[in-house]
Amino acid sequence: MPASKITVTDFTNSPKVQANLKKLRETFGPNGKPFEVSDVLDAEGHQYVNLVQKGGGVLGVALVGYTYILEKMGIRFLRMAGTSAGAINTAMLTVIGKKQEEKSTRVLEAITNLNFFDLVDGHRMARWIIKRFITHKNYFRRIRIIAIAIIALFTLLLAGSMIFLILGQNNENLQMVSRPLIFALVIVMIVIAELVRYILKLLKKFKTSGYGINPGNFFYNWIEKQMRDNGVLDTTDIINKATQAIPGLHLRHDHPQGITDLTGDVTFIASELVTQNKIEFPAMAGLFRKDKDSLHPAGFVRASMSIPMFFESYFINDIPCNQPSIRQKWKEIFDEDDPPSSTRFVDGGILSNFPINIFYNSKINVPRLPSFGIDLDDSAPEDKKSSQQTGL
């Protein structure tokens, strides 16, 4: 029977999730410690922090669990930045609803409705191999055994054919034996030749498509739909979502800077290979188009999570590199005198997998709100404790 589909309530009602919430509420409840992590609050009493979300492949699903618990404890997010898998949750938390609302359950709903294997949208042979790698234990070991068997069969047939041909020069019976061996040898050679031809074809496509198995079109369309369903149709829309006003924003204590410069924003990190630069979207969209709205923000997220090998590189082509405004942007940001006409992006984690530096402001001496960062780790808590005790 097929596995039953996981739902949002399967997560929110999980005993471990409920136990963690209970522990937090008991520790920071009416009879516990005051839960104060930020001096920036809204009219409803939510506390605001900056949030950076790290890349981590499939582990990125855990990011939603982290933000879910934070939201349940009354924390909201003013400025956000993310790389790779972190860029996905960052985008979702940006486009959904209003700043003061809880959003993680809606992110969970979108994720639970997603068939993750649909992200594998490459060649049918690649899909076939990846699916069996996921569902079959020791799959590549089996492939190696089959390959060795084919080579061994070819070697035996070749040796047998030669032996019987030589010995059967003056023996008709031995010649009769050699004929089926030669026929079988030809069949095996054709199979091997076709396999080699097919592999070379895939390798050529692999190279021309940016060294990735999957084009990533399904993911782009999926994140674009999530944005569209939440009213984000272009780059201006996502900037407006990130910078939207927060009702009743105020400080817990007086501060020299007040709240005048406390505005939200969002940043997706991507690594650009042609010029070897770290790109911050949407702030640097002007490097590639005079009209930033001609670049869809779904492309920013797609560029950030272009995991090498698994996804093809993300390209921005036909850059009007001779336009004065474009040239000026490249000069200002990267001191580049000759902007490229085409750029190629891979996973932002190559250059900045934990972009917490985005939130640094040298003009602020006394912080008003903290920056929270999510560091993904798949080791069990007991393993960490053991490593700390042994000094590893």
Instruction: Tell me whether the omega of the peptide bond preceding residue 282 falls within 30 degrees of 0, making it cis.
Output: yes
| 347 included as an active-site residue | yes
How many other C-beta atoms can be found within 10 angstroms of the C-beta atom of residue 84?
27
Catalytic residue among 39, 121, 237, 347: 347
In single-letter form, the type of residue at position 36 comes to E
Q: Kindly give the residue spans of alpha helices, DSSP state H, lying in the chain.
A: 8-12, 15-27, 62-72, 85-95, 104-112, 124-135, 139-167, 172-208, 217-229, 235-242, 297-304, 324-334, 349-352, 381-390
Long-range contacts of 44-47 (CB under 8 A, 24+ apart): 44/100, 44/248, 45/74, 46/74, 46/75, 46/76, 46/100, 47/74, 47/75, 47/76, 47/369
How many other C-beta atoms can be found within 10 angstroms of the C-beta atom of residue 107?
21
Q: CA 161 from chain center: how many Å?
A: 53
Q: How far is 380 from 385, CA to CA, in rounded Å?
A: 9
Catalytic residue among 38, 39, 84, 304: 84
| 4 included as an active-site residue | no
In single-letter form, the type of residue at position 365 comes to N
Q: Which residues are part of the catalytic machinery? A: 84, 347
